[in-house]
Amino acid sequence: MAGLLCGTKRKQQVSDLHEEGKNAINAPLLPSGTDIHPEDTLLEENAERIMLDPTSRENPKFKDLLKVLIDWINSELEEERIIVKDLEEDCYDGQVLQKLFEKLSGRKLNVAEVTQSEIGQKQKLQTVLEAVNDVLRPHGWTVEWSVDSIHSKNLVAIIYLLVALAMHFQVPIRLPEHVSVQVVVVKKREGILQTALMTKELTSTTEMMMGRFERDAFDTLLDHAPDKLNVVKTSLITFVNKHLNKLNLEVTELESQFADGVYLILLMGLLEDYFVPLYNFFLTPESFEQKVHNVAFAFELMQEGGLKKPKARPEDVVNLNLKSTLRVLYNLFTNYKTSA
């Protein structure tokens, strides 16, 4: 009889918690169509859970962001024969995140390859996220994810993590800018569920997200003396033409004439005094991919010449991003301005 009473009491407690969830759903702060699942209501005191508002899932820019991230992961992990279709369902156990981080960082993590139990999955996530955070924190990234949020399939936390990895490792993808979503925050205070709507910014501009990296002299110049931009452009044009004129080439528009990578490659050959074999790049690139190949190849030549990896992405140069192009050329100028 005592066991029956205890079981009845537990059922009543669960029922009461489910009723709290229904009350929360009907709260005026929640938008219509938002569902709080029973497990979302079983919160400990002062705990909170964040859920994506269903209307945000239909946002075209949000859908675009999901597609870009999924396509990128599948491209990175193609050799692992891993296919991601749904970020929530495929990333929560840590397997995909482990393989992705290992591929990007070149590090091998000491974790079990396959983990079925919840405890094992969380242990793997703990190891993976500790390694991720150790890499990202020194560069100013705010940690918007945790073992519990990832394992509970919090899509917002998963996206924050993937965006940070993509931007930190400067992967060759273009994330849609200014993607924001609304989330429902459920908190438990004194036994009562409290709900509120919040706006979360998943991406800002590429430049702002890349700005978390170490700033250089060019950033300082643009921030504190934007009126000198034309002076800088004139100096850079004079610098590149001093060398390109040797091949009877001349530049008048920095952002457009370097966008296909050809002049960048030829310029590096002139600066380092070697001939670049024509079979290494596309002399008359036609597609976006061929142009990206050329710019990426020019970046490789820069690194072989002792320069740091450019902060700009090849895609940004190809897309006529003036600031990215100026940054690349300014880096060459500071290193080769005394070259004959």
- pLDDT tens by residue, 258-294: 999 999 999 999 999 999 999 999 999 988 889 989 9
Kindly state whether residues 114 and 168 are assigned to the same domain: yes
Judging by beta carbons within 10 Å of its beta carbon (0-12, 13-18, 19+), is residue 238 exposed, middle or buried? exposed
pLDDT band at 210 (very low <50, low <70, confident <90, very high): low
Q: Kindly state the tokens that stand for 88.
A: 């929530």
User: Tokens 């991003």 map to which residue?
Assistant: 321
| Phi, psi angle pair for 310, to nearest 5° | -55, 140
Q: What is the pLDDT, as a whole number, of residue 288?
A: 83
| Residues in the chain, overall count | 340
Please work out, in degrees rounded to the nearest 5, the angle formed at the alpha carbon of residue 97 by the alpha carbons of 96 and 101: 120
Of 155, 177, 210, the residue at which a domain comes to its end is 210
Q: Are residues 220 and 323 in the same domain?
A: yes
170-174, 180-184, 204-208: least confidently modelled range: 204-208
**Crossing angle (nearest 10°) for helices 60-76 and 95-105:** 70
Number of neighbours of residue 111 by Cβ within 10 angstroms:
18
Could you tell me if residue 287 is inside a domain? yes
CATH number where 322 lies: 1.10.418.10
What average pLDDT score do residues 21-38 get? 45
Reported as a single tens digit per residue, the pLDDT across 48-73 is 778 888 899 999 999 999 999 999 99
The predicted structure's pLDDT at residue 2: 45
Establish if 119 belongs to a structural domain.
Answer: yes
The reply to whether 180 and 83 lie within a common domain is yes
Helix (H, G, I), strand (E, B) or coil at 117: coil
Same domain, 286 and 176: no
Taking CA atoms, 216 is separated from 139, 206, 330, in Å, by 14, 17, 10
At 124, which amino acid appears? K
Q: Is 164 helix (H, G, I), strand (E, B) or coil?
A: helix
pLDDT above 70: percentage of residues in the chain: 79
Q: Are residues 206 and 74 in the same domain?
A: yes
Alpha carbon distance 262, 292 (integer Å): 10
Query: What is the C-alpha to C-alpha distance for residues 288 and 173, in angstroms, rounded to an integer?
Result: 13
Is there a single domain that holds both residue 269 and residue 171?
no
pLDDT at 320: 83
Residues 254 and 277 reside in one and the same domain = yes
Q: Three-state SS for 59?
A: coil
Answer whether residue 42 is part of any domain: no
- Among residues 210, 231, 258, the one where a domain terminates is 210
Tell me the C-alpha to C-alpha distance, in Å, between residue 149 and each of 153, 165, 270: 7, 17, 52
Calculated CA dihedral for residues 13, 18, 22, 28, nearest 10 degrees? 70
85 and 227 in a common domain: no
pLDDT of residue 22: 43
Q: Could you tell me which of 282, 278, 269 has the C-alpha nearest to residue 318?
A: 282
| 55 & 195 share domain | yes
Tokens of 247: 């091949």
State the pTM of this model. Answer: 0.56
| pLDDT attached to residue 138 | 73
Which band of pLDDT confidence, cut at 50, 70 and 90, is reported for residue 252?
very high
Sequential DSSP letters for 208-276: HHHTTSPP-HHHHHHHH-GGGHHHHHHHHHHHHHHHHGGGT---S-HHHHTTTSHHHHHHHHHHHT---
**37-53: average pLDDT:** 68
Is 300 a domain residue? yes
Number of domain units in the chain = 2
For residues 181 and 218, membership in a common domain is answered with: no
Q: 9 in a domain, yes or no?
A: no
Domain boundary residue, one of 210, 226, 249 = 210
Same domain? For 194 and 242 the reply is no
CA distance 70 to 89: 12
Do the domain assignments include residue 28? no
> Do 96 and 125 touch, CB atoms closer than 8 A?
no
Q: Average pLDDT of 193-213?
A: 72
CA distances from 89 to 43, 62, 86, 166 (A): 22, 17, 5, 20
Structural domain harbouring 113: 47-210
DSSP, res 67: H
Long-range contacts, stretch 249-258, CB < 8 angstroms, 24+ apart? 254/322, 254/325, 254/326, 254/329, 255/320, 255/321, 255/322, 255/325, 256/320, 258/317, 258/325, 258/328, 258/329
Same domain, 60 and 82: yes
What's the average model confidence in pLDDT over 73-96? Answer: 91
Sign of CA dihedral 23, 24, 27, 30: negative
Residue 200 is assigned to a structural domain of this protein: yes
Is there a domain that residue 40 lies in?
Answer: no
For 218, other C-beta atoms within 10 Å of its C-beta total: 19
Nearest to 296 by CA among 276, 279, 281, 308: 281
